[in-house]
Structure 1
Amino acid sequence: MREAADRRRRRWLWGALALLVVLAVAAVWWWRPRAPHVATAVAERADLQETIFASGTVRPVDRQMVMPTNLTAPIEKVDVHVGDRVKKGQILITLQNEAQAAALQAAKNNLAQAQETLNAALQQQSAAPPGFQGQFTGTVAQARSTVAQAEANLSQAQAAYDATLLRAQMDGTVVLVNPSGIGSDGNPAPVLEVVGDAKQIVTQVSEVDAVHVKKGMAAEVTSEAFPGKTWRVSVQQVGLFATSDTGGGQVEVDLGVPADFPVPLGYQVDVHIISAIHKGVVAIPYPALVQDGQGYAVYVVRDGRAERRPVQLGITTDTRVEVTKGLQPGDVVILNPPAGLAAGSAVRTG
């Protein structure tokens, strides 16, 4: 009886031990590190364009500003109003010019009188017998000299009078009239301003970006005032030097716009200058990149494992980057690699 009981006890112990082993193996399997699940993207060939963003202001190409320092006398009359269309040469402002007008009229009268005197001398010379006409040579010469002097005086008087009439230097529109020449802050301000019809966009870009901007580059312009509209424009001029009014080096870039560009003067616009276009290059999404010392690397999925590869980059867009070395089209890269992911680690995709 005792031997049978011992055998049953031993069988129970061995069964319990086997169960413990199974449970231990199951626990090890259950608690083993699992391969992380990762999102991926495929490196593929694409056409990329790199852009430089800047905010710009619509401004006139040509403008004429009359400052208080341009006035040689007090204003007699402003001959135009805000909003008036003017032609080149049209009078904008008349200064007080009574003295100049009187001097001009006197010069005209003097010239007329000198011309009459010359005509009379010529008639006398012509009417005299041939042998006596030489006696009038001195008189005629003196009269001619008087006429020449009178013409010079008239030219000077006309110039002095014209200086009191400020004229438009271009066809355009009057956008400001301020006869006092004093701004709201009490400082000198323009008396009058005329702008031409042609518009441009003036932007400021960082000196780092400016070295990549060249005359003739294309750009795309949008405006909140015209939702859904995009205009294609081009760079007309890049500033020769940087300014630091805002605390960092900024360079002015001017862009030409079509003649029918509808955005009014003074409005703000968004500008994307296309600084480079690369066609058919290998591209991947930005989130695939990880810092690799001074450069970058990606994790490529190969046979279920993460392979770390250094890459060299080309131009960038808002969402993708060109890879010039390190990847081939079709390579599968991990997006936002998990922290602590090591080269050779198993990963799950899909």
Structure 2
Amino acid sequence: MKTDRADRRRACGTAPGLAALILALLLVWGCGADNSQKDGQQDKESESCVSVDRTKVETADLEEIINGIGSIEAFQSVKVYPEVSGIIETVEFEEGARVKKGQLLFTIDDAKIRAELDARQAALEETRANLENARLVFKRRQRLYEQKLGTEEARDEARTRYQALSAQVKRIQAEIENIRETLKDTKIRAPFDGFAGAHHVDAGQLVDTETQLTGVVQVDRLKIRFTVPERHMGQVRVGQQIRISAPAYPEEKFAGTIYFIDPQIDPGTRSLRIQAQAGNPENQLRPGGFASVELISGTREGVLTIPEEALIPTRSGYMVFVIANGRAKGREVKIGLRRPGTVEITSGLEEGETIVRAGHISLYEGAEVCSE
């Protein structure tokens, strides 16, 4: 009987402890289930919204630009020919080197020309001496004639000789001047500042006035020839500024100024031919290259603008997604000027509205947009 009472006491003492353990387990399970449910709801909410890159509709000033295409030319470019025939004695420059106006490029052997000059100078001295004698003879015979001591024929003969020798002196002087000019022509010099081209001849080579020796181009100042459609004729004027870009420097713009507008429209292309000059101090641009031209015709101030990537093409035009109350709403817009990365909005949006810049691929009408 004592044993039964002891067993009952142990059983009664164990029951409250077991109940407490079970209650604790139930509480832990309940809390875990509640947290799991909350996490699930958050995941579901995250999966239901769309992440996008957003931006604001802003106002800005946009340049009105007329685009043209053309070519780059040296402002001055000449082929260098000799003025005299002869043997090339020296070549005084390196191919492709920068040269200054008047810099010596070639010399032609001038020995024969100098010999001719010496001979004509000797002839001049002799003729001058003869002229002085003739002057004295004429003077004496003139005096004798006036004193009735000489004949008219003798006087006239002396005068004729004096006049002939005087003319001969002048002729020889002119010949000497021409020879000196020819002597100068044996020194071929750069006609202006620029860059020398290739050597077309070498020392020792016989050349004449039709032999090209080299070329010189001016590239620190360039000529830009380009065309624009004839509809822009009224927007172009001499003195107008342009921006030039070239394939070799796509991120860089070079400034230029219009100095010539063709008075006629090209009947073949219906375009207006224009010439501008542009500085090229670092010689980045080279003659013969392609040029893209932007001609600034005006500025539109305070227009609505959005990033170009926010535009979505449609069958009827364009649309953008506007974010309002956390949801994306498609809205048709009309556009105006387009510039790289930016587009003008002429209707459909208001300044300050929030739109989707990127992330359209997952959007649909009324889609919930994830908060920032």
TM-score (norm 2): 0.56
Rounded to whole Å, the distance in 2 between the matches of 1:161 and 1:315 is 64
How far residue 131 of structure 1 moved from its aligned partner, in angstroms, is 4.9
How far residue 38 of structure 1 moved from its aligned partner, in angstroms, is 4.3
Pair 1:82 & 2:102 matched: no
8 Å contact kept, 2:335–2:343: no
Rounded to whole Å, the distance in 2 between the matches of 1:88 and 1:204 is 26
Rounded to whole Å, the distance in 2 between the matches of 1:284 and 1:50 is 17
Rounded to whole Å, the distance in 2 between the matches of 1:123 and 1:254 is 66
- CA, structure 1 residues 40+154, in 2 after alignment: closer, same or farther (shift >3 Å)? same
8 Å contact kept, 2:226–2:293: no
Q: Give the corresponding residue for 1:117.
A: 130
CA offsets, 1:22-67, max 9 Å, x none? xxxxxxxx9xx9675544322111234578799x99x975565536
CA offsets, 1:74-130, max 9 Å, x none? 543225243988664454322234443333333333333333332322233334453
Rounded to whole Å, the distance in 2 between the matches of 1:86 and 1:40 is 57
Q: Give the corresponding residue for 1:11.
A: none
8 Å contact kept, 1:49–1:274: no
- CA, structure 1 residues 89+106, in 2 after alignment: closer, same or farther (shift >3 Å)? farther
More helix by share: 2
1:126 to 139, 149, 153: 139
Rounded to whole Å, the distance in 2 between the matches of 1:46 and 1:138 is 92
Could you say what the CA RMSD is over the residues aligned between the two structures, in angstroms?
Answer: 5.1
Rounded to whole Å, the distance in 1 between the matches of 2:188 and 2:224 is 32
Q: Give the corresponding residue for 1:322.
A: 344
Rounded to whole Å, the distance in 2 between the matches of 1:126 and 1:320 is 97
Pair 1:281 & 2:294 matched: no
- CA, structure 1 residues 281+90, in 2 after alignment: closer, same or farther (shift >3 Å)? same
- CA, structure 1 residues 89+123, in 2 after alignment: closer, same or farther (shift >3 Å)? farther
Q: Give the corresponding residue for 1:200.
A: 221
8 Å contact kept, 1:78–1:93: yes
User: 5+ residue gaps in structure 1?
Assistant: 1-29, 182-188, 243-250
The aligned runs of 1:211-250 (5 Å cut-off) are 216-217=240-241, 219=243, 233-235=255-257
8 Å contact kept, 1:60–1:265: no
| Residue identity matched to 1:331 | E
The aligned runs of 1:288-327 (5 Å cut-off) are 288-293=310-315, 295-302=317-324, 304-316=327-339, 318-327=340-349
- CA, structure 1 residues 148+293, in 2 after alignment: closer, same or farther (shift >3 Å)? farther
User: 5+ residue gaps in structure 2?
Assistant: 1-43, 147-154, 204-210, 267-273
Rounded to whole Å, the distance in 1 between the matches of 2:323 and 2:200 is 71
Rounded to whole Å, the distance in 1 between the matches of 2:306 and 2:200 is 58
Pair 1:43 & 2:64 matched: no
How far residue 132 of structure 1 moved from its aligned partner, in angstroms, is 2.8
Rounded to whole Å, the distance in 2 between the matches of 1:168 and 1:156 is 22
How far residue 191 of structure 1 moved from its aligned partner, in angstroms, is 4.2
Rounded to whole Å, the distance in 1 between the matches of 2:368 and 2:48 is 9
How far residue 252 of structure 1 moved from its aligned partner, in angstroms, is 8.8
Rounded to whole Å, the distance in 1 between the matches of 2:77 and 2:83 is 18
Rounded to whole Å, the distance in 2 between the matches of 1:305 and 1:85 is 63
SS in 1 for 2:352: coil
How far residue 325 of structure 1 moved from its aligned partner, in angstroms, is 3.6
8 Å contact kept, 1:39–1:334: yes
| Residue identity matched to 1:76 | I
1:143 to 165, 171, 178: 165
| Residue identity matched to 1:217 | Q
Rounded to whole Å, the distance in 2 between the matches of 1:139 and 1:106 is 23
8 Å contact kept, 1:65–1:193: yes
SS in 1 for 2:192: coil
- CA, structure 1 residues 72+279, in 2 after alignment: closer, same or farther (shift >3 Å)? same
- CA, structure 1 residues 272+327, in 2 after alignment: closer, same or farther (shift >3 Å)? farther
8 Å contact kept, 1:37–1:347: no
- CA, structure 1 residues 190+238, in 2 after alignment: closer, same or farther (shift >3 Å)? farther
SS in 2 for 1:347: coil
Q: Give the corresponding residue for 1:335.
A: 357
2:115 to 102, 118, 142: 102
Segment of structure 1 superposing worse, 77-86 or 329-338? 77-86
CA offsets, 1:211-247, max 9 Å, x none? 899864254889x99xx9x8874346689799xxxxx
For these two proteins, the number of residue pairs brought into alignment is 290
- CA, structure 1 residues 116+91, in 2 after alignment: closer, same or farther (shift >3 Å)? farther
How far residue 166 of structure 1 moved from its aligned partner, in angstroms, is 1.4
8 Å contact kept, 2:60–2:301: yes
Rounded to whole Å, the distance in 1 between the matches of 2:213 and 2:131 is 47
8 Å contact kept, 2:83–2:185: no
- CA, structure 1 residues 99+127, in 2 after alignment: closer, same or farther (shift >3 Å)? same
Rounded to whole Å, the distance in 2 between the matches of 1:150 and 1:71 is 22
| Residue identity matched to 1:80 | E
- CA, structure 1 residues 106+171, in 2 after alignment: closer, same or farther (shift >3 Å)? farther
